[in-house]
Chain A
Amino acid sequence: GAVVSQHPSWVICKSGTSVKIECRSLDFQATTMFWYRQFPKQSLMLMATSNEGSKATYEQGVEKDKFLINHASLTLSTLTVTSAHPEDSSFYICSARDLGPNQFFGPGTRLTVL
């Protein structure tokens, strides 16, 4: 149980384009989903917290207009990187939480912006 999927697993795009990443909880309903990014050899940095049907809460320093988060249902959250630039290249990971305290992570999405 507690499986979280992400799609795509990797994406390469041109600078200026937008990229959408999906996060799904496959066998449970996620009351809350989280989006993280990880730079090489660094820890996971929380970007935002989203609850189904409400606006996401962004961490300090994260541009909400650049990283659009939609949590349309209890099993799906999407992160859209708008007008991506090379500095947005990173490993993006989502996690989902049901009613308990544990977070279950997706496999991550490697974004490379050329």
Chain B
Amino acid sequence: DQQVKQNSPSLSVQEGRISILNCDYTNSMFDYFLWYKKYPAEGPTFLISISSIKDKNEDGRFTVFLNKSAKHLSLHIVPSQPGDSAVYFCAASASYQGAQKLVFGQGTRLTINP
């Protein structure tokens, strides 16, 4: 059972435009969500996170939106830059699980075209 889903395996965006990556989850106990960026043969790099008490968090070009009723979150990158080309993973955790294990989505490969 895939508790965190990224239904788009790939996304291609023109440089300078907005990139929107989507993520859906099924476990209503998840209360903390993160986005990671990953290059091949490297570990994931933390980008931005959001707690379930918020519906938006912004950090520079990155904004994460959370819609709890729809169990959906999205990452907006604007403006998109060539260096943003990577695989993006969303992850979720539930604080009732003391160690706060992360459950990852399958990832979306973002390609920014010049």
Contact = CB atoms under 8 A, between A and B. Distances in A.
Interface in B39-91: 41-46, 49, 89
B104 interface: yes
A6 interface: yes
Contact of A108 (B42, B99, B104, B105): B42
Contacts of A4: 43
Which among A34, A101, A106, A107 has the highest number of chain B CB atoms within 10 Å?
A: A101
Interface stretch (A43-51, A63-71, A75-83): A43-51
A2 B45 CA distance: 11
Given A51-B99, A101-B100, A43 B43 contact: no
Nearest to A107: B43
Nearest to B45: A105
Interface residues of B, number: 22
Q: Is the interface of A mostly helix, strand, loop or mixed?
A: strand
A15 B37 CA distance: 33
Which among A2, A43, A57, A91 has the highest number of chain B CB atoms within 10 Å?
A: A43
Contacts of B13: none
A60 interface: no
A55 B100 CA distance: 17
B34 interface: yes
Interface in B7-35: 32, 34
Interface of B: 32, 34, 36, 41-46, 49, 89, 93, 95, 99-107
Given A93-B43, A101-B100, A108-B43, 10 more contacts: A34-B102, A43-B89, A43-B107, A44-B44, A93-B44, A95-B102, A101-B95, A105-B43, A105-B44, A105-B45
The 3 closest A-B pairs by CB, nearest first: A105-B43, A43-B104, A105-B44
